[in-house]
Amino acid sequence: MRVDEGLYVLAAVIVPAGRAAEHRAVLRDLLLAKQPRLHWRDEGRKRRLEIARAIAALSLTTAIVIGTGLLPAKQRRARRKCLERLLWQLSVHGVRQVVMERRNAKGDKEDLDLVNALRAQQALPHDMNVEWGDPLVEELLWLPDVVAGTVARAEAGDDTFWSLLRGGHVSERVTCE
């Protein structure tokens, strides 16, 4: 989320089950001593370049939703709109197992309520399993964090990191107002 630019960015990385171990190993190799996880916002420019280059070698397939017109008082609404579109994109790609990064009990409940509402509206497949994971336990959750961070920076005018990432990227813009 970049409130100053009016942006809410959500990203997903589609990782084939057969490549998950490889992706995890690449991510773990990027950790510095005593660093529990990668988190884009905590990294400096030099480290971001290192991370982006390493991740680019994985040739990621991503789904990205860029919410524009974010108003500070409407962050929850922006998340719901972006998450709805992101889950739809994933369903179109045939994804049936989704692991979202855990936020907090209230935030996770809001996301679960949205998932259940979308299922009730038949806007999501009933066989799409959505669960929440801890980024201190599941390294793959670091990937969408990096992708969202690079996209947000590109939207703010610095596409240095985004231009390094290769792979299949599906992005969509939604208005959050």
State the CATH number of the domain containing residue 82. Answer: 3.30.420
For residue range 43-87, list pLDDT tens digits in order: 999 999 999 999 999 988 999 999 888 777 788 888 899 999 999
> Which positions of the chain have pLDDT values less than 50?
none
Q: Which positions ≥6 away from 30 have C-beta within 8 Å?
A: 38, 50, 51, 54
Instruction: Output the pLDDT for position 64.
Output: 93
Instruction: Output the pLDDT for position 74.
Output: 80
- Report the number of distinct structural domains present in the chain: 1
Instruction: Output the pLDDT for position 166.
Output: 65
The arrangement of strands across the sheet holding 60-68 comes to 7-14, 60-68, 167-175
Cβ atoms of residues 99 and 141 within 8 Å: yes
Model pTM score: 0.91
Q: Which two tokens stand for residue 131?
A: 């669960």
Segments in 12-67 forming alpha helices (H): 20-30, 45-56
Candidates 153, 151, 167, 76; CA nearest to 114 is: 76
Domain residue limits at 162: 3-175
